[in-house]
Structure 1
């Protein structure tokens, strides 16, 4: 557990480094090829990061002698701060944080996808919620305000059921919390509905504290939106495209490994999630979650733009976003 908790200090450290003007030093280190650092989250949409680390795939594509390190992040904001300060050179993050930071002026590029799918809307047993129409006056939880899963849920509720959150004067009460805690929130009755990334939806199912209200294909952008994207800085793309090509090459190898060796990849996910979070997920949970996810590195800018437009419509963004220049597919093209 100490390993996981240590990464909670990353946002503060990043702010200190930014104030000290450390961006140039971090970039110089990556340009020399001496060391790169890759980041990802301990959830199932980021299995490509776990596989690349466990199989040591970056050493196969990077210049000889390059040292590879990994950092694990609790949320998208701290990840994006680390990208912007140069503390990490690339890695996997949800599309929401990537787009939000880009529209705020961050010089970043999405160079690949990590996966699609994996968002599930769960209802607490005994909450009196049999369909989304029942959510007026109910409380829902998402990982963060305006995160990928939050926008997917609120887009669906607004467009299909005419319900919005109290954040914009609506009838649904919104709270935030870490997905790993949702089962306990259901058990205590503190929330009625959760917008849940896998594997935590399958974990809730297995524990019996909640049931599926809306499955992945029927959530807004459920099968088209990347659930994770691979991000690096525009500076690195401009100044060292060969290094970025090597980094993306390892990510592509990891994705191919997942699709060609699903059982081995599942075990890697179980082991790494336990290693990082001290939570052990059963094979049953991982098997169930796997069915809701497509592991791919292909990414299309129009899908991200549609999602960003929804973020604006829901008032998560103050200005209508233009994502032109965010996506660079040159590194995944054959």
Structure 2
């Protein structure tokens, strides 16, 4: 064999060794990158700060906390639960980083999205539908009968306040934000509104459960508008679950486990309704020292639907209503939902996936 041939063979052999080494190195690098990506997708926080309200419309949260369903699903991640009495306060807490996720109504979520220019939050699941409307005293039978009357809502710009104003406008009645107009709208917290109605200082209130049932059963109020009758399929979002975008990006593994807890809590309510009612009421008592009467509890649960579906189309309609009554500047809600993890979990559980479409 000539020296030239030997040199050629040596070079080829060296090249083969180098190529093999590079390929092996590349394979290891690819494996490392894939492992890092998988770890990133499963990143978990040491703790999650979750907000919710001591209200039956937040029953999945009440049951999930009381029955320790969230704690079980979160595993090593510590649950730090905080309660709020109004949506705007919960949104401010989310914007400031005081909480990472919260159960909340649609309009505060829309306002938070608008205020942060779409950077603060994502809606990751539905929770509750229905359970709100206008209850009035005897003698009020039509929209026209409301002229000159005083009607309470929980807070200016909240979900029920927007619903009332939009409904009045659709019936050619006006109401300004200062309590003037054809109908005087008085923002009052729910407990105050219930008391004021019982005392006769207001003529009605557009409120969520359980206050809706309290006005009917305790103060002999009559239903003028059951809000679900205003919506397609009688479904509209009352409460959904939102999360900080920063927290979702950093700890998708924890958000996934939170959603597992949420799904388990909703399933528990559907499969164990009587016990779920007791658990929700026990949690309300623990938080407020005032459990609901059995008849109010039963009526409120019967008037609500607990669901993972965010009923997205109703959110977009609510935003339009808020704009039309002057409580919201035009806002682009594209991207407000991220239901990827929810649908992944629902599919794995053999359940139907949900939509975030506007219509």
* Range class of TM-score, shorter chain: 0.7 to 0.9
In 1: Cα distance, 2:311 partner to 2:301 partner? 22
Give the structure 2 partner of residue 40 of structure 1. 52
Structure 1 residue 103: Cα displacement: 1.0
Does structure 2 conserve the Cα–Cα contact (< 8 Å) formed by 1:270 and 1:282?
A: no
- Per mean C-alpha deviation after superposition, the further-off stretch among 220-229 and 195-204 is 220-229
In 2: Cα distance, 1:123 partner to 1:47 partner? 26
Give the structure 1 partner of residue 182 of structure 2. 171
In 2: Cα distance, 1:53 partner to 1:84 partner? 23
In 1: Cα distance, 2:168 partner to 2:149 partner? 13
Does structure 2 conserve the Cα–Cα contact (< 8 Å) formed by 1:139 and 1:174?
A: yes
Structure 1 residue 200: Cα displacement: 1.0
In 1: Cα distance, 2:324 partner to 2:235 partner? 19
Which secondary structure state, in structure 2, belongs to the residue aligned with residue 68 of structure 1?
A: strand
Give the structure 1 partner of residue 210 of structure 2. 199
In 2: Cα distance, 1:326 partner to 1:45 partner? 22
Structure 1 residue 330: Cα displacement: 0.8
In 2: Cα distance, 1:37 partner to 1:324 partner? 26
Does structure 1 conserve the Cα–Cα contact (< 8 Å) formed by 2:123 and 2:241?
A: yes
In 2: Cα distance, 1:258 partner to 1:300 partner? 19
Is residue 218 of structure 1 aligned with residue 233 of structure 2? Answer: no
Structure 1 residue 222: Cα displacement: 9.2
Is residue 321 of structure 1 aligned with residue 321 of structure 2? Answer: no
Structure 1 residue 275: Cα displacement: 2.0
Does structure 2 conserve the Cα–Cα contact (< 8 Å) formed by 1:117 and 1:226?
A: yes
Aligned counterparts, 1:175-324, within 5 A: 175-219=186-230, 223-317=234-328, 319-324=329-334
Structure 1 residue 220: Cα displacement: 5.7
**Can you list the C-alpha shifts for 1:263-309, whole angstroms capped at 9, x where unaligned?**
01111122222222222211211111122111001114332111101
- Per mean C-alpha deviation after superposition, the further-off stretch among 299-308 and 230-239 is 299-308
Is residue 110 of structure 1 aligned with residue 123 of structure 2? Answer: yes
In 2: Cα distance, 1:44 partner to 1:327 partner? 24
Does structure 1 conserve the Cα–Cα contact (< 8 Å) formed by 2:137 and 2:220?
A: yes
Structure 1 residue 32: Cα displacement: 6.1
Which secondary structure state, in structure 1, belongs to the residue aligned with residue 239 of structure 2?
A: strand
Does structure 2 conserve the Cα–Cα contact (< 8 Å) formed by 1:111 and 1:231?
A: yes
Which secondary structure state, in structure 1, belongs to the residue aligned with residue 107 of structure 2?
A: helix
Structure 1 residue 238: Cα displacement: 1.8
Does structure 1 conserve the Cα–Cα contact (< 8 Å) formed by 2:93 and 2:99?
A: yes
- Per mean C-alpha deviation after superposition, the further-off stretch among 141-150 and 170-179 is 170-179
Which secondary structure state, in structure 1, belongs to the residue aligned with residue 216 of structure 2?
A: helix
Structure 1 residue 195: Cα displacement: 0.3
TM-score (norm 2): 0.79
Is residue 119 of structure 1 aligned with residue 129 of structure 2? Answer: no
Unaligned stretches of 5+ residues in structure 1: 1-30
Does structure 2 conserve the Cα–Cα contact (< 8 Å) formed by 1:116 and 1:294?
A: yes
Structure 1 residue 35: Cα displacement: 1.6
Question: Which structure has the greater CA radius of gyration?
Answer: 2
Give the structure 2 partner of residue 27 of structure 1. none
